[in-house]
Amino acid sequence: MNIYQDIILDHYHHPHNYGKIEKSDNLVKVNNPLCGDKIEMTVKFEGEKILEIKFHGEGCVISTASASMLTDFAKNKTKEELKKLNTKFIIKMLGIDLGMTRIKCAVLPLEALHKLLKKF
């Protein structure tokens, strides 16, 4: 498989849920100092479920596509469901083989999501 599959490139060029929630319930910022990726994620909860989630920042193809796909997945999920997500889930979601340095890019949005859930 090619790392720049059509689906990943589409999420990179046209990321879903990109932006900020003005009156969010929570906000976190994470970065990957190895490659310079930076993500800020905001969320709006309705009870235990995520009603709305957005991200913005600067990132490589993998981190941006991962954030786009993860925020799509997270909508209408409960905090408990999302706390169970791990690196294996992200790799499966992306559908590609990643080296160690690219895995860090791919899981940066998951790190942001987990921090959002801990802070709320």
Distance in angstroms (rounded) separating the CA atoms of residues 50 and 46: 6
* In the chain, domain spans: 6-119
Residue 74 pLDDT exceeds 90: yes
Sheet holding 26-32, edge to edge: 26-32, 37-46, 49-58
CATH of the domain spanning 6-119, picked from 3.40.50.300, 3.40.50.80, 3.90.1010.10, 3.30.450.20: 3.90.1010.10
* pLDDT, tens digit, 9 for 90 and up, residues 81-111: 999 999 999 999 999 888 888 999 999 999 9
pLDDT at 120: 66
CB of 94 closer than 8 Å to CB of 69: yes
The predicted model scores a pTM of 0.93
Output the average pLDDT for the chain. 93
